[in-house]
Structure 1
Amino acid sequence: MCGTVYNQGNLVYSPDGNILFSPVGNKVNMFDLVKNRSSTLPIQTRWDVAVLALAPKGNLLLIIDERGFGALINLYRRVLLKRMVFHGPVAAAAFSSDGKLLATTHDGKARIWKTPGIEREFSAMTLWCETTSHHDDITTLTWSADSRYLLTGSKDMSVKVHEIKDYHERRVKLIPYRTLIGHASPLVAVFVSPDSKAIYSVSRDGTLLVRHAVDKSSDARDEDEEDADQRLPKAMEGALALGEEDSDHKINRFRITARHYFHQSSAQVTAATFFAPTQMLVVGYSNGVFEMWELPHFVNLQRLSVSNTAISTLAINQTGEWIGLGCAKLHQLLVWEWQSESYVLKQQGHFYDMNGVSHSPDGQYIATCGDDGKVKLWNAMSGFCFVTFSDHVSPASAVTFTKNGQVVVSASLDGTVRAYDLIRYRNFRTFTTPEPTQLSTLAVDPSGEFVCAASPDNFDIYVWSMQTGKLLDVLTGHSAPISKLVFRPDGMMVASASWDATVRLWSFMGRKKESEVLEHRRVVLALAFHPSGEQLAASTVDGDVCFWDTKELNQTGSIEGHRDVIVGQRLGMSQSTANAVNSKAFKSMSYSPDGSTLLCGGDSPVVLLYDTQTYVLVRAFKITRNRKFDGIDNGLPYRNMTEAGHIDEIDDYSDESDLESRKDTSLPGVKRGDLAKRSTPRQVRAKAVEFSPTGRGWAAATTEGLMIYSLDNEWNFDPFDLDAEITPDTVMDTLRARDFLVALVMALRLNEVPLIRQVYEAVPPVEIPLVTQGFPSRYVGRLLMFIATHSDTSPHVEFHLMWVNQLLIQHGPYLKRNIHQLQPALRNVQKSLRRVQGDLSKLCNENAYTLQFLLNRCRQARQKNEAATMKFLNEHIGPDHEEVTGLSEPSL
């Protein structure tokens, strides 16, 4: 998922601090900040994810949705271990420092679970015990460094310290003076110092309380009369750890030793996190500002404004360098490196729904447009957005790449078509209509010379020249809004679909501007040309797909798509889903590069893949299982019915504690179900689908975001033709026997990257031609993919070039025959070589004068040596040219 980077919930870092886990809807995205890549875990929850908890070893990830349904995931294999039901919303969850226990919130209690170990168990997660109840819901919890104490903070403005007394007997008790009070608003976060001697608590009103364990024999009145500047150093000197006893074997009590305030006018604290090794506190506010403080002396380190809305969550990696910030209202995800004061990651998806998607000719980039009027370019390999165009002032309705891949063209409801240069990243052409009108669809011919756009208002098609930007022609003939425009692959014809139940084929390249009409029974919504240009697919409003022969202009076949589309039960829907006809039509279609399959998507939660030869369904892809959207459940939702109606139709904003959340934004006098109501149930839609030119994947612009489906899976361990005789020891024995070809093939079959690197670099350069000549063709793709990834971190540039050169020479025919399967590997190799070339050329250009100086010095040194040699020969060799012995040569 690329179009959305963060929705709600908390962020967590991996144990090495390089991977950031972010909840996106009912899924979780993994952002590798070092390799600059992102991926999505294949596990979904029933509702939007609200809480993430990662084990200290990084092997287990617990995700909990907003209704209390959880999933325990094995991150190493990316498989689901267990589904869990917490019987209510969970506000926080955290693994203990040793990873043996897990704490979750449940109303006013904290539940402690026993986590699974290495041994195989009947139940992967068992309930261990429950802690003492608070008077209100728990908002935060944390563990001490030794996993002996659990601290909880609640809306009742108190902090409780729980001691894990006996692990085997499942006993948890509160230590004396267990309830810590002093705040005037609900708790946001509670932290413990690394030595367990200080407790820090932060509340929503911007108050920080520092507590230390003091001796009970000390006079409390004298401490209260002391100055705060003197009280804190004194408490730090004589402080004891949690549960530590004094000389009289009495456990000491906690006292407030310091009280600090975050001075942010009209802003509340919304998030806080703590870095224990350096005792650095990071606090986020409702006005988009976050601050960094050094504890316990409360020294301000940094203050920065990153957003106009509230900061929802904060996270610090294990090295303390990167701070992750999430803003739920704007769907922003930021990673700030506070030492260098620079952004490591700064991503934001489309604020509203996406309307169009388009692949670049090489499949590396994806362009999207949305209702927010922005056009974004995404890297298909990394999943990151690298440029955003905000020139449109109204929703952007369509976007497409030109054939050369250097220009992106977009149409908008503001009546303009804009062309963007991908070299300088600027809007270099703006096409307008003679009269102001909205533009709903777009098409560009393969040569990139002609741009066509259609209007739903006057039913005309406008044709512009890309070179001059002038309007060339206006095609008229439709009597209803035009839904789709598409060029034939040879560029000699453009097809238009309209609500008047016709498809027109325009040949405006010649002198006669005639159009052929293909009659349909219903409204036509989508079109797609076969890569050969001899077949045209048209989708109608009744869910059928008609196939036409573009030469004979006759129908060759059809697909009854409404039989395959599964529509869930929606709110207010009294009839069965089998009889419903709404949302069973395809509004976007795309052929695969070889033309063997057809991809169809529309206003339903599924995307269908059909075979174009037999007209049968190959596979149905369900976009999401998130029940937050309307129409996901297939049956009638009787379990969600209450006396007041459906549970999703009951207003619960008045139960919120925040003033902003309690505001009612509905129109006065509006009843439930009226179309004038602002908040309506969202439905899952696939507004645009398109195959990648490589044929290895496809993308869909949905209400959940930009979803990319690929055939290229990434696994930590993925052996190929593996048998029992291939082990790392046998591979090393073969390498020591200098049988390089067999050792390399065995390493590729085992598919362990460190082993492949060791064998690959052990091959002598003179042996590369011989090894590649006998190298099996079926392993060429794997070796090229390894070279592409390894060359990014390896300094052996010439060594990699020799391998790539010999592989292309020896296996050229095989690469040409299997270009579709091997195109991702070849594209990665080309990308890696371009990056190396760019780095070397930039280095040489920046050091041109330095290189010239070194060459001149070498030339001068050589001339000086030659002159010294000639002088030596003239002085010590006689006229008869006899060598003079006994003389040492000069030092050159």
Structure 2
Amino acid sequence: MDALILSLQASRRLHSVGWGAPSIEPAILNSLQQSLQAVKEHSRFEGHSAPVMGASFSPDGRMVASASWDGTVKLWNIEGKELRTLRGHTAEVWNAVFSPDGKTVASVSSDHTIKLWSVEGQELHTLKGHTAEVWEVAFSPNGKYVASAGSDGVIKLWSLEGRELQTFQGHKGWIWGLSFSPDGQTLASGSADSTIKLWSLDGKELQTFTGHQDTVTEVIFSPDGHKIASSSNDGTIKVWTLDGQELRTLLGTHAQIWDIHFSPDSKILAAVSSDSTVRLWKPDEQEDAKILKTTAQISRLNFSPDGQYLLMGGWDHTIKLWTVKDREQNLQIFQAHDAQVTDVNFSPDGQTIATTSWDRTIKLWNRKGQQINILKQGTDKKSYAVWSISFSPDKHTLATVFWDGSILLWNSNGQQLLTIPGHVRLKTSFSPNGQTIISTGQDNTFKLWSRDGQELQTFVGHEAPVTSVKFSSDGQLIVSASADSSIKLWRIDGKLLKTFKGHQDEVTSVSFSPNNRLIASASADKTIRLWSLNGQ
């Protein structure tokens, strides 16, 4: 499904320079073609009668909205079942996005309009005012406003009741990137005129950034609203201060980074990207990343405890095991699951591999790829897709997180020990001494639990769902990452020690180095950052 959304984004960005325009590089077209072929192989969402040009997740991740040249918007559940079709546009629909509360969908079309819909399928309002195709739409963080832009080169701000509040004029080309600042007081726009502009909500142009050599395809704010990140068809990603100063980033790529891990000796940093590659760096050296190219999207990766192997779970339902020294040789492929592999982990002794999947199963394997056990959810409760799995330090207990948010503890024989309900969770991990468990959630918090299921501490401070959380090796510190683009360092008693700001989009993964001297973070802004514990 993510391959579908990535291909749609690529397709829409190609349009920003015009179909068949001379400036489109053949490599971009080849990349898009390969992506579309991969989507055809997945065949998860079928129902539109023309090309699908936009897709987005609902805030809780349980629905997808798709926009198509067939003039419709379709809503789907996460398993690809069509829920309803929204009809009303009279021309191609370019994009559809959910409001922050997930109750409203905004769609934009070549019919020059923006439509607001309830997720039940009722057309609420039609916003009219653009004089050409509308391609981009964004809700303000508080959900009170909608911003739109397209090929007429203007931005419009609307109330949810459909009243036009403001028109922003200044770009000399189509507008493609559009983003609200975290406080909702500023708009950033990127254009085919190769510039980025900042605007106040009263329509005043605050700043123009020049430096890109081609269409600016995306523009986003840092969580503190003090920096801007932009991507362009010139093949670069730039990070700026609000006065236009360009800042350096670690990685320049059009692929998003989904997961990162340090090797046990801290000498290698591994990152998995949405372009089906895994990149390996030596953080203390300036050499370029070593790239492992895979044949399918990789969702998760982990090092073996001895650092000799890299374990990856993929969208092709397989597990791949690579040697780290011989980076070009695929050591082992497990035909593991009947759906996407959502998490993979080694046991502490490196002899057992645990995997979870959207096929609702948990499986244990040896390193030869032989299945040892299947942990069954049982018949006394509804079966759910499994998000993640982790071993206790003594390897005798496993913790799994299910789609319904529950944590289930198992012994290594597959016997269920304890269920912890109530917190809307995504991931879980054990403390180094194995006595406590952390769970992250969609409610912007993460929680600390005892092994017997007692809630010990709730960590409050993030302004969006917590996407990743890790213990330091001594168990005294916790680092958390969030969709609010920040990283936070905590004591285990819940005291916030430090907030790290610098990423321009959701932070997708965070990790301590084994010696606890560094923190590595990966973000949807397509960068990886290394931090000392004081935030430098």
TM-score bracket for this pair, using the shorter chain length? 0.5 to 0.7
Q: Does residue 1:476 correspond to 2:376, yes or no?
A: yes
Other-structure match for 1:615: 494
Cα distance in 2 for residues equivalent to 1:560 and 1:455: 28
Cα distance in 2 for residues equivalent to 1:350 and 1:547: 36
Q: Does residue 1:606 correspond to 2:483, yes or no?
A: no
Selected match of 1:594 from 442, 461, 474: 474
1:777-796 equivalences under 5 Å are none
Cα deviation 1:195-253 (Å, max 9, x = unaligned): xxxxxxxxxxxxxxxxxxxxxxxxxxxxxxxxxxxxxxxxxxxxxxxxxxxxxxxxxxx
Other-structure match for 1:692: 513
Other-structure match for 2:440: 539
State the superposition RMSD in angstroms. 3.4
Cα distance in 2 for residues equivalent to 1:489 and 1:385: 34
Aligned pair in 2 of structure 1 residues 525, 514: CA closer, same or farther (>3 Å)? same
Q: Does residue 1:707 correspond to 2:524, yes or no?
A: no
Cα distance in 1 for residues equivalent to 2:209 and 2:469: 40
1:422-821 equivalences under 5 Å are 422-425=324-327, 426-433=329-336, 436-456=338-358, 458-466=359-367, 468-477=368-377, 479-508=383-412, 512-550=413-451, 553-561=452-460, 564-566=461-463, 584-612=464-492, 614-624=493-503, 684-704=505-525, 705-711=527-533
By percentage of residues, which structure has more helix? 1
Asked if the contact 2:391/2:398 (under 8 Å) is kept, the reply is: yes
Cα distance in 2 for residues equivalent to 1:462 and 1:330: 41
Give secondary structure in 2 for the equivalent of 1:554: coil
Selected match of 2:267 from 364, 367, 374: 364
Cα distance in 1 for residues equivalent to 2:397 and 2:391: 6
Cα distance in 2 for residues equivalent to 1:547 and 1:449: 28
Following superposition, the deviation at residue 361 of structure 1 comes to: 0.8
Asked if the contact 1:392/1:412 (under 8 Å) is kept, the reply is: no
Q: Which has the larger radius of gyration?
A: 1
Give secondary structure in 2 for the equivalent of 1:440: strand
1:696 maps to amino acid: R
Cα deviation 1:685-743 (Å, max 9, x = unaligned): 111111111111111110121111124999xxxxxxxxxxxxxxxxxxxxxxxxxxxxx
Aligned pair in 2 of structure 1 residues 89, 535: CA closer, same or farther (>3 Å)? closer
Other-structure match for 2:38: none
Cα distance in 1 for residues equivalent to 2:485 and 2:251: 24
2:458 maps to amino acid: I
Runs of 4+ in 1 over 6 A off after TM superposition: 46-50
2:312 maps to amino acid: S
Asked if the contact 1:409/1:419 (under 8 Å) is kept, the reply is: yes
Cα distance in 2 for residues equivalent to 1:67 and 1:610: 36
Cα distance in 1 for residues equivalent to 2:522 and 2:485: 12
Asked if the contact 1:544/1:558 (under 8 Å) is kept, the reply is: no
Asked if the contact 1:444/1:452 (under 8 Å) is kept, the reply is: yes
Aligned pair in 2 of structure 1 residues 489, 412: CA closer, same or farther (>3 Å)? same
Cα distance in 2 for residues equivalent to 1:690 and 1:713: 14
Give secondary structure in 2 for the equivalent of 1:67: strand
Following superposition, the deviation at residue 327 of structure 1 comes to: 9.0
Cα distance in 1 for residues equivalent to 2:258 and 2:233: 22
Other-structure match for 1:67: 197
1:412 maps to amino acid: G
2:453 maps to amino acid: N
Following superposition, the deviation at residue 398 of structure 1 comes to: 0.6
Cα distance in 2 for residues equivalent to 1:464 and 1:350: 34
Cα distance in 1 for residues equivalent to 2:286 and 2:524: 17
Cα distance in 1 for residues equivalent to 2:210 and 2:339: 50
2:521 maps to amino acid: A
Asked if the contact 1:526/1:586 (under 8 Å) is kept, the reply is: no
Cα distance in 2 for residues equivalent to 1:556 and 1:348: 39
Aligned pair in 2 of structure 1 residues 549, 68: CA closer, same or farther (>3 Å)? closer
Following superposition, the deviation at residue 605 of structure 1 comes to: 1.8
Following superposition, the deviation at residue 385 of structure 1 comes to: 4.0
2:450 maps to amino acid: D
Aligned pair in 2 of structure 1 residues 615, 327: CA closer, same or farther (>3 Å)? closer
1:504 maps to amino acid: L
Gaps of 5+ in 2: 1-186, 200-204, 216-230, 239-249
Following superposition, the deviation at residue 423 of structure 1 comes to: 1.8
1:253-264 equivalences under 5 Å are none
1:689 maps to amino acid: V
Other-structure match for 1:112: none
Cα distance in 2 for residues equivalent to 1:49 and 1:363: 38
Asked if the contact 2:258/2:524 (under 8 Å) is kept, the reply is: no
Cα distance in 2 for residues equivalent to 1:409 and 1:349: 25
Aligned pair in 2 of structure 1 residues 473, 616: CA closer, same or farther (>3 Å)? same
Cα distance in 1 for residues equivalent to 2:342 and 2:286: 27
Cα distance in 2 for residues equivalent to 1:353 and 1:713: 23
Aligned pair in 2 of structure 1 residues 385, 470: CA closer, same or farther (>3 Å)? farther
Following superposition, the deviation at residue 488 of structure 1 comes to: 1.4
Cα deviation 1:447-483 (Å, max 9, x = unaligned): 2211111111x210122211x2222222121721212
Cα distance in 2 for residues equivalent to 1:327 and 1:616: 40
Aligned pair in 2 of structure 1 residues 391, 592: CA closer, same or farther (>3 Å)? same
Following superposition, the deviation at residue 516 of structure 1 comes to: 1.5
Q: TM-score, normalised by structure 2?
A: 0.53
By percentage of residues, which structure has more strand? 2
1:352 maps to amino acid: A
Cα distance in 2 for residues equivalent to 1:537 and 1:47: 36
Following superposition, the deviation at residue 410 of structure 1 comes to: 0.8
Give secondary structure in 1 for the equivalent of 2:454: strand
Give secondary structure in 2 for the equivalent of 1:463: strand
Cα distance in 1 for residues equivalent to 2:389 and 2:321: 17
Aligned pair in 2 of structure 1 residues 497, 384: CA closer, same or farther (>3 Å)? farther
Aligned pair in 2 of structure 1 residues 348, 602: CA closer, same or farther (>3 Å)? closer
Aligned pair in 2 of structure 1 residues 611, 383: CA closer, same or farther (>3 Å)? farther
Cα deviation 1:604-647 (Å, max 9, x = unaligned): 122222210x21222222234x5xxxxxxxxxxxxxxxxxxxxx
2:402 maps to amino acid: S
Aligned pair in 2 of structure 1 residues 481, 611: CA closer, same or farther (>3 Å)? same
Aligned residue pairs, count: 311
Q: Percent of aligned positions with the same letter in both sequences?
A: 19
Other-structure match for 2:226: none
Following superposition, the deviation at residue 332 of structure 1 comes to: 9.3
Following superposition, the deviation at residue 352 of structure 1 comes to: 2.2
Asked if the contact 2:519/2:533 (under 8 Å) is kept, the reply is: no
Cα distance in 1 for residues equivalent to 2:475 and 2:195: 41
Asked if the contact 1:607/1:622 (under 8 Å) is kept, the reply is: yes
Following superposition, the deviation at residue 68 of structure 1 comes to: 8.3
Cα distance in 2 for residues equivalent to 1:548 and 1:376: 34
Other-structure match for 1:375: 278
Aligned pair in 2 of structure 1 residues 383, 454: CA closer, same or farther (>3 Å)? farther
1:126-525 equivalences under 5 Å are 329-331=234-236, 349-382=252-285, 384-393=287-296, 395-425=297-327, 426-433=329-336, 436-456=338-358, 458-466=359-367, 468-477=368-377, 479-508=383-412, 512-525=413-426
2:357 maps to amino acid: S
Gaps of 5+ in 1: 1-45, 51-63, 70-84, 93-269, 272-285, 287-325, 334-346, 567-583, 627-683, 715-892
1:710 maps to amino acid: S
Cα distance in 2 for residues equivalent to 1:692 and 1:540: 24
Cα distance in 1 for residues equivalent to 2:432 and 2:232: 43
Aligned pair in 2 of structure 1 residues 686, 86: CA closer, same or farther (>3 Å)? closer
